[in-house]
């Protein structure tokens, strides 16, 4: 497995997969091999189907999580082993389409103000002000902050696409204060890693998640908050402020407008644009209290 792991790792890196996705894919293949106590290159379609069923029935994983495991195995078989993969033999489970959690602007302010450290505060402000994904945030470089054009360059986003997002004047001042606070300033990364934020490597993707969890707990928010929630808030609040859907699509880096259209279901401005038909009814009297 060590030799196969190295080949898979090289292939993932060559295709510019994020560090988080790379680790997740490799762990998925390793767990698949451990389940059958056999090298994965000696396992076939029947084993994949058995494993898929086991993930559902025994581990009781969600359809989305099972799909992630299948994506990892598909990559391994096609790109590492150069073997064919049939979707018909191992169909992906249907996902349940749930609307994401949204915080009001007041709740976002409470979250940011409750950040336990100045570093966490800057991380939360950047997530909300730009709508970047967690992995994109960790890879931001000093050179990506363009104060002349007031934009933030997002390099190698999902699908290896670059894009620009607006750079808020408030965020720019916060980033400058963040830079002055650093004990050791990285020559590359905007958010350096390790406990003292002095590493030559970027911060781990766990750091923004911890920032959200700690701040939400201190703010007393009952909703589950994680980095992608602030991305949803960014898009929804822009839509409520009057931004058009196509502009939001570009800022988020969505390939398909259908991905962005979900925010129409979340925007209060759009939800309240049409009155309920109940309001047009002429009803006699009012409901009497039950005895």
Annotated catalytic residues are 133, 158, 228, 231, 254, 263
| 1-10, 90-99, 122-131, 149-158: least confident range | 90-99
- The mean pLDDT of 75-90, rounded to a whole number, is 83
- 3-state helix, strand, coil split of the chain in percent (to 5) is 55, 5, 40
Neighbours of 60 (CB within 10 A): 8
Neighbours of 144 (CB within 10 A): 18
- The mean pLDDT of 206-213, rounded to a whole number, is 97
**Cα separation values, 132 from 138, 227, 228, 280, Å:** 10, 9, 8, 43
Per-residue pLDDT at 291 exceeds 80: no
**Cα separation values, 290 from 70, 284, 285, 287, Å:** 55, 17, 15, 9
- pLDDT at residue 44, as a whole number: 87
User: Which tokens hold the place of 100?
Assistant: 């994401």
CB 220, CB 229: distance < 8 Å: no
The percent of residues in the chain predicted with pLDDT above 90, rounded, is 58
Residues in the chain: 291
- pLDDT at residue 1, as a whole number: 61
User: Which tokens hold the place of 288?
Assistant: 């009497």
For residue range 235-252, list pLDDT tens digits in order: 999 999 999 999 999 999
- pLDDT at residue 122, as a whole number: 98
Per-residue pLDDT at 290 exceeds 70: no
Per-residue pLDDT at 274 exceeds 90: no
Per-residue pLDDT at 288 exceeds 70: no
For residue range 88-114, list pLDDT tens digits in order: 767 777 766 778 899 999 999 999 999
Question: What is the model's pTM?
Answer: 0.72
The number of helix segments (H) and strand segments (E) in the chain equals 13, 3
Per-residue pLDDT at 201 exceeds 90: yes
CB 209, CB 227: distance < 8 Å: yes
For residue range 29-64, list pLDDT tens digits in order: 999 999 999 999 999 888 998 998 889 888 888 888
- pLDDT at residue 286, as a whole number: 67
Q: How confident is the model at residue 20 (pLDDT cuts 50, 70, 90)?
A: confident
Q: How confident is the model at residue 161 (pLDDT cuts 50, 70, 90)?
A: confident
7 vs 147 pLDDT, higher one: 147
| 106-120, 132-146, 185-199, 263-277: least confident range | 263-277
């Amino acid at each position: 497995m060590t030799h196969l792991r190295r080949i898979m790792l090289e292939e993932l890196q060559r295709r510019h997969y994020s560090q988080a996705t790379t680790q997740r894919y490799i762990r998925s293949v390793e767990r698949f091999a451990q389940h059958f106590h056999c090298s994965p290159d000696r396992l076939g379609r029947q084993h994949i189907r058995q494993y898929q069923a086991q993930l559902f029935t025994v581990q009781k994983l969600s359809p989305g999580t099972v799909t992630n495991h299948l994506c990892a195995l598909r990559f391994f078989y096609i790109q590492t082993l150069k073997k064919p993969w049939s979707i018909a033999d191992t169909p992906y489970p249907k996902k349940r389409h749930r609307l994401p959690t949204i915080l009001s602007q007041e709740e976002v302010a409470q979250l940011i103000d409750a950040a336990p450290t100045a570093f966490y505060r800057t991380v939360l402000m950047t997530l909300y002000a730009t709508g970047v994904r967690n992995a994109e945030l960790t890879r931001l470089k000093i050179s990506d902050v363009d104060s002349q054009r007031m934009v933030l360059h997002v390099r190698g986003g999902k699908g290896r696409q670059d894009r620009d997002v607006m750079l808020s004047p408030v965020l720019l001042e916060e980033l400058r204060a963040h830079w002055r606070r650093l004990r050791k300033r990285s020559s590359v990364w905007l958010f350096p890693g390790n406990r003292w934020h002095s590493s030559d490597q970027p911060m781990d993707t766990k750091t923004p998640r911890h920032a959200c969890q700690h701040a939400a707990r201190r703010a007393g928010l009952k909703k589950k908050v994680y980095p992608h929630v602030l991305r949803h808030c960014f898009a929804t609040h822009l839509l409520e402020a009057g931004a058009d859907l196509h502009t939001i699509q570009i800022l988020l880096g969505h390939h398909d407008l259908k991905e962005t259209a979900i925010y129409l279901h979340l925007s209060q401005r759009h939800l309240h644009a049409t009155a309920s038909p109940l309001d047009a009814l002429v009803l006699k009297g009012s409901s009497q209290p039950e005895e």
